[in-house]
Structure formats: C-alpha cells, structure tokens
Structure 1
Amino acid sequence: MPRKHRHLFEKVITLENLFAAAENASRGRSGKVPVARGFAELEKTVVTLRDELLAGTWQPGRYYYFTITDPKEREVAAAPFRDRVVHHALVRVLEPIFEPRFIVDSFACRPGKGTHAALARAREFTRSHRYCLKCDIKKYFPNIDHALLLREVGRAVDDARVLELIGRILASHADGAAQEWRAGAGLFDVEQRPRGLPIGNLTSQFLANVHLHPLDLFVKQTLRVKGYVRYVDDFLLFGDDRAALKAHGQRVREFVRTLRLRVHPDKFRLSRTEQGVDFVGFVAFPDGRIRVRDSNVRRFTRRLRRQAWCVRTGRMDFDDLCQRACSWAAHAGHAQSRGLLQDIFSGIFHLPNKGSWA
C-alpha cells in the first residue's frame, strides 16, 4: 500500500513555493489589470498570503463567473489572483505525490500528457481491438462530492492543515455558492453534503483526476481491461469480446454510482472500432486514419467566419485572427486535414488557387 505523506503544509507555505506559484498564476495573464496589480506588489502579496495561511485566517475571495458556449454552454469561475496563487502553491506540492499513483492512460491536465497524447493512445487501441465502449460522466464537475474527494486525497495525504486548506477551497464553491466547511465532517447526510468543483481552477483540474483515480484502478485492476483511456470525464474501454465489454460497462456504471456520479445514458455507446472511435475531438479508425470530428469543423468554421467579419469591420486585428486560425490548424494537423483546411480557409478568405498551398 502506498505510503501517506506528512509535513506537506510547511512545503506549501515556503516563500520559494509561493513566489513560484505567483509566477505560474500570472503566466499569460500579465495584461489583465488585477494580475498586473498583484504582480507589481508581488512580494507584499506573497508575504501576506504566507502569514494568513500560517495563521489559518486565509479565506477564498469571490469568484467572477462567466459563461462560455464553445463547445457547449458551461459556467466558468475565475478566482482572484491571490486565490490562484494558493491553488498553484498547493498543486506544486501535491502533484509529485499523486503523479506516480495515477495510471499511465489518464491524460487530462498532467505533465507530458494532453489531448493529442490521449488521441495517440486511443488510436493504438483502435487499431488492435474490434470493439470500443465510449462513456461519459454526466455533469461531472458540478456533482463531485466533497467528502468523497477529501477521503480520496486523504489516502495519500496525512496532513490535517493541507486537508483543511483543500476543504476551504472546495467550500468556496459548493453548488455555486459558498458553504461552511467543517473539519472532520463525515460521510453521513449524503444528500445534504456539498458537491461541485468550479470549472476554471487549477485545483479543480487536479482534484478531478484524483477523484476518478479509483475508477481507473477499478477498470485496470478489477476488470483487467488492458485497452482503457481516460480524459477527464470522457473514457473508452476496448476489447474483442462484445458481450464481455458490455458486461464491463454495466459494472462501470455501478462503480461510478458509488462516487455519487452517473454515466451519461446518451453517451454510453458500444460499437465496432471500424465505425470510428470518437474521442477528444477526433475520430480514429483501425487503418490509422484520423479525422477531425464534424461538429468541431462546423464550430470552427462558424467562429472563423465571425472573426473574419470582425476583421473586415475593424473589430479585430488581422494578426490576431491569423494566430487563432493557425492555432486551430496546428490542432487539426493531428488528423488527415490538409484538404479540409484548404476548403475552410479558401472559402472564408477567398483564396484563388488551392494549388498555392502545396
């Protein structure tokens, strides 16, 4: 049994760790006023945070909520700069503890992983198996049970102050509202227990992986499924026996319910891999072909048309448009997409000669 780690709180609140966390929290956001102000007073901010954490008086600030609609409508919570520093400081200490525990085939928000690595792994299994069971957990982040999550963290962390800090962060967003967090709260009063992680926090991304780690172990060690890939709440099981894979799916559903979660009934599909395996925005085929998911192509085309209109009317800089288009083109480049990109860009920018792309 893996050992538990102690004396972690002291590592979280070192000035070295907090300064590194502040730098990480500021990365890519220095143009935004709240971050720029925090960075200008970085030393004061970090020292004050350390004193508050040490005294146990630190309290999370108010989230700024906004809605995104691409690829689907979701509420995103942006934490204040000070809180993001704490989130990064915590993850910097916990990540090295949990990384060796995680299975190889979990790919979201992990060093050296990501969507394209997940796609490559799914492609391998698609080429070597006849069937694939695709699963998705319904409304995963809003339904993460705080007590169960803290219990799972506690399997590796034996530090009351770190667990209390995590509990305080969790309580700052429970069902979208602040909740009182009580140290030592048990697993009783199930329906009354707070749940939900805000989409947008670094801690949410990290803890979401921790929470589904038992599912990974169940599939790999109990069901002994060799072909398994997970990206956040979207996961695939591969096999050559359709009946066995269907039975595994039922057991997965039952296990997920023990985490107070549900497999989405409309996104639970068993199919032959020759029909294509839809995963992380791509569709992989046994012959090695990969294409971009049709819905992603339509969404990108609509967005690019809107942005091109903004450039023509002076609402967007052309260089900004080119940067966004090139970013998506690089993403789509993991599939056989050269002809697709020619069609999209030629149609929107009215490029006269496709041969000039060669």
Structure 2
Amino acid sequence: MPFMETQQRQDKLPPIKYTKRVGHLFEHVRDMHNLKEAIKDAARHKRKRKEVQKVLEDIDGHAKLLQEMLDEETFIPAPYTMRRINDGIQKKTRDIAIPRFWPDQCIHHAFVRVFKQIVLHSAYPFSCGCVPGKGTHGAKRAIEKWIRKDPKHTKYVLKLDVKKCYLTMSHEELRKKLRRRIKDKKFLRLADRIIASFQQPMATHERLLPEIDAAGIPVGLFTSPWFCNFFFQDIDHKVAEKTGTAHNVRYVDDMVLFDSSKRRLHKALEFIQTEVEITKQAVKANWQVFVLSKRPLDFLGFKFHTNKTTIRKSIMLRISRKARTIARAAYASIRNAHAMVSYVGYIVNSNSQNLFDKWVRPFVNIAQLKGVIADEDRKQHQACVTV
C-alpha cells in the first residue's frame, strides 16, 4: 500500500460514537478536511463576491486560520445585517439575519457539518423541516400515504403551530438540551457563542436581556434550522409515545396529528401546549381540530383531500403570474428560472395537471429553464474545482 494512502487512513478521524451523551465532537469540527468543505459550502452561490473570491483563492490557508481560531477560541461573531424579505412560495414577510462570510458563515457551516449528524441520529422519523431527503415533499408523501392506507385513523386532524418559534426560543433551554445530549465542553462553548450571538432586541434597538433570560435564534443563519429541529426533538418523541395519536408530522414549527378520536386529539393538544410552555414558548391560539372528509388539510402549500391533493389557490395565482412574467421577458434570469421550476414542483406533485396545461405550459418551456439552472450550477462547480 502506498505510503501516502496509509498516512491518509491514519489521519482520518474515527466515526462519532452515539452514546447517551456524545463526546469528541470538537475534533471533527476543527478537522482540516471539514473546514475546507465548510468554506466551499459557505461559498456556494456567492463566488462573484470579492470577499468570497479572496478566501477561495487560498482555501488551505484560510482553513488553517479557522482551525487556529477554533483551537484558541478567539472567534467573536460580528453583528448581523438585518434584511426584510418575502420568503418562500407563500411570500411571508420575514426579517432575516445575514452574518459576514468570513469567518462567521464558514464556522457556522463547519459546526453544522458535525452537529447535524447528532440531530439526524436521534430525529423523529416525521420531523421534515429543513432535513435533507425529507422537506416539504417528504412530509407530503407521508400524509398522502396515511390518508390513502389508513382512512380510519386519519378521520380527524389536529393542526397547530408554535408562536414565533425562532424568535421566542429560550437560549437557556436550548443550552440545557444541548448539555443533556453532548458532553464535549469545547464543542458546547462554540455552540453557546453562536447561540448568544443573536437576540431579537438587536434588530429593534431595544434593551438586551441577560443571557439567562435571552431568547431568539435568527431566521437566516445556517445553524438555526438545526438548532430548531434539535430543540423540538424531545416533544416529537413524547407526542409519539405518550399521546396515543395514530400519525404525527412536524415541519419546523407546524404540527399535524391524525387520529380516529377527536377526544384523543384534544388531549394531545393539551399535552403539547404544556410541553411547549415548559420550554418558555406557546402554541398559537388558531389551532384547529376538524373532520378531513368535510374540509381539506391546508398544509405546506398543498390541500390534502381524502382522495386527492391540490395546491392552494393563492399559490396557483402566483405561479400563473410568474409564467406570464417570464414569457414577457427577453430572457429568463436565473432567479426566475429557479422560482418557476420550484413552483412547477408543486404542480407535478399534486393533482393539478389541468391547471398546468392552461396557465403554465403555453407561456414557459420548463426544459429551457432547467437548462438555465444547469448552466449556472456548472459555472459554480467549475469555480470550486478551479480553487
């Protein structure tokens, strides 16, 4: 066996051991291979920025700087830039936090590349929000399967969500949960620094709270969805084990439960409200319990009926407007191409072929839009290979 190959195998870190409390995580974060991959991940779709190009020109050198920063614990997060956007297919108005690329985003990616393994290992199977391989369509497939194969136990539906989930998440409660699962002190101190780097008053110029009373993880940070999924894991498993409901799914802060008993769903609601209050949050007052055969479940942009799945009318209107916008333009921008292909995903994954034939197909060529996206992805890949 060649010496270099032997040396590479000796240098490779052992896999994470999943005991009751996991240790030896920081060494995976500060590993040079992890740091280089984190820089590439953070640079994705940002390669035209000068600050990003500077880092990509010397990945090895910057990975070494990150490693020193982590080892000496000198990383200090900079204040975030706050921006208001219209997010997702439903165009919800959100205030997002944008950290500087170097070194903040690079460290966030290095942290998540390790932390997500802990989250995924103990995740509830139907926790779908921001989870690779699941997401919106993973939740949709599960719900459709339950409705189709188990009509008796999907007769009644409970739909609820946690009020301002990200912005009310207690820093203290999140730290407690992390310490119950992880014992690596240096990894925990890095997590603490990322968690404490944001408080909602920073965005509104109000008084900052003592960290023991502080709340809020920012929408926009790469770490936030993973902290959120980790935060709700205990509740996911307790609901599945203790309420007796037939089927449950959670997408970030939205929960849907199915059962043959309306009474059992109301008891499950009380249980969830109590558990959420323990973590210093609250369930929104607009929760609903209803009969699926009389009213479709409106969830994730889809409407789930007992015999079909359609898309929300407001989303269909947005899709048709976007199709006409692209048709009027001289060329399809990468932004419009991404948006339209994403929209079409809703149509092809629902019983909406007639709507597609009437409002989309006459105006846009989906194959051409996919070609625009493929060209841009190829350029991004070539940029990464070059560096």
Question: 1:119-198, aligned counterparts within 5 Å?
Answer: 119-127=140-148, 128=150, 129-177=154-202, 193-198=213-218
Where 1:112 maps in the other structure, the secondary structure is: coil
Secondary structure of the residue aligned to 1:103 is coil
Partner of 2:348: 333
Aligned to 2:314: 295
Q: Is the 8 A contact 2:174 2:231 kept in 1?
A: yes
SS at match of 2:121: coil
From the superposition, tell whether residues 34 and 166 of structure 1 become closer, same or farther in structure 2 (CA, over 3 Å): same
Runs (4+) off by over 4 Å: 189-192, 302-309, 346-349
Tell me the equivalent position of 1:210: 230
In structure 2, distance between residues paired with 1:140 and 1:10: 31
Contact 2:128–2:138 (CA under 8 A) maintained in structure 1: yes
- Give the match for residue 45 of structure 1: 62
Q: Deviations over 1:8-37 (max 9, x none)?
A: 112211111111111111223323333223
C-alpha separation in 2, matches of 1:323 and 1:8: 36
Q: CA deviation at 1:123?
A: 1.5
Once the 2 structures are TM-superposed, how far is the Cα of residue 305 of structure 1 from its aligned partner?
4.8
- State the 1:218 CA deviation: 1.6
Q: For 1:41 and 1:61, how far apart are their aligned partners in 2? A: 22
What's the TM-score, normalizing by structure 1? 0.86
Distance 2:165 2:64 in 1: 36
Q: How far apart in 1 are the matches of 2:355 and 2:137?
A: 19
CA distance in 1, matches of 2:361, 2:38: 44
Alpha-carbon contact 1:176-1:198 (below 8 Å) kept: no
Give me the CA root mean square deviation.
Answer: 2.3
Q: What does residue 284 of structure 1 align with?
A: 304
Q: Which amino acid aligns with 1:107?
A: C
Aligned pairs for 1:264-283 within 5 A: 264-266=284-286, 268-274=287-293, 275-283=295-303
CA contact (8 A) 2:77 2:104 kept: yes
Inter-CA distance 210–332: structure 2 relative to 1 (3 Å threshold): same
Aligned length: 332
Q: Counterpart amino acid of 1:297?
A: M
Q: Structure 2 residue aligned with 1:19, among 23, 31, 36?
A: 36
Structure 2 unpaired stretches of 5+: 1-17, 204-208, 365-387
Sequence identity (%): 27
SS in 1 for 2:223: helix
The farther-off stretch of 137-146 and 278-287 is 278-287
Which residue identity lines up with residue 117 of structure 2 in the other structure? P
| Residue 263 (structure 1) shift | 1.1
1:80 corresponding residue in structure 2:
100
Could you tell me how far apart the structure 2 residues matched to 1:6 and 1:191 are? 25
The aligned residue for residue 206 of structure 2 is none
